[in-house]
Amino acid sequence: MSTVNRGTTPEVLISEVGPRDGLQSISRTMPTEAKLAWIDALAQAGLKEIEVGSFVPARLMPQMADVAEVVRHSTARHPGITVMALVPNVRGAEAALAAGARKLTVPVSASEAHSMANVRKTREQMLEEVRQMAALCRCQPTHVPLEVGVSTAFGCTLQGAVPEDDVIRLADALAHAGVDEVGLSDTTGMANPAQVRRLFTRLRRALGERAGAAHLHNTRGLGLANCLAAYEAGVRTFDASQGGLGGCPYAPGASGNVVTEDLVFMFEAMGVRTGVDLEPLLVARAVLAAGLPGESLYGMTPEAGLPLGFTYADGRRPSPA
């Protein structure tokens, strides 16, 4: 299937996490056929990295029971896209690699309390898991990047404040464990722009090119402001979820990832190229809505539409309706 051809290199990468983070955060299970249609539509909009699922036991997360099939479909249908899967442990990594995932992402919590609730392992135990996963990825015939998102980097609903020094020490340990990228996640939606700017500045100073994505939530309405602060600190990869689906089952009240449609609009309106077109992205939103009838979707841009005279960062105007 072809995707949007923008002709210019994107300045930021929007990593779509809705098919994983979004779908695992709701009680309903999206039919496999609908899920595949949604991923196809996201690819058609120009998204170049899509987190398509989690390799976790189906008895714990039935929404992800079809993840291997989803990975196989996505890699076969979209050879130019980074098909990413979340893996909580070595067993999950082995299954993801066997299915053909092109990138793995691992959540490692900066909060000990959240780590025990989320994966039932201490931070030190997770570091050992990450070392083994990094070795596994290096053994593949074609290198599969391993990314870690430091969960609860900006605060934890179970522990409370998370010291910034703890976050940076953990990120440095993960880099030494062999991962390709270490990003920061506002798992509980507690971050503010000053904090985001400060912590990502420290992360980039500590890790250089290994400093990775910003995974920010909109729990208290600061999602876009926090993304802008991260951008100003030098971040160029941003996780987002179509319709704002997502959250964390072990972070009460912390639902709602940054809305992909709003994030793309913000950057393009600023003159920052994303490589994503809003018109087919809104078509993908309709595919999502059809696959989950009645599910609440969020976002200001889909409601308001594009403003009169809007142009993309590369100078193009939206296609006529």
Residues classed as catalytic: 248
Name the E strands within the chain.
13-16, 49-54, 82-86, 103-109, 146-151, 181-185, 211-215, 237-240
CA distance 180 to 293: 38
Q: How many CA atoms lie within 13 A of 87 on its CB side?
A: 30
Instruction: Determine the length of the chain.
Output: 321
Rounded CA gap, 34 and 290, in Å? Answer: 8
Angstrom distance (rounded) from CA 310 to CA 277: 12
Three-state SS at 239: strand
Determine how many CB atoms are found less than 10 A away from the CB of residue 267: 23
How far apart (Å, rounded) are the C-alpha atoms in residues 102 and 135? 16
Type and span of the H or E element at 32 = helix 32-44
What gap in Å lies between CA 272 and CA 311, rounded to an integer? 11
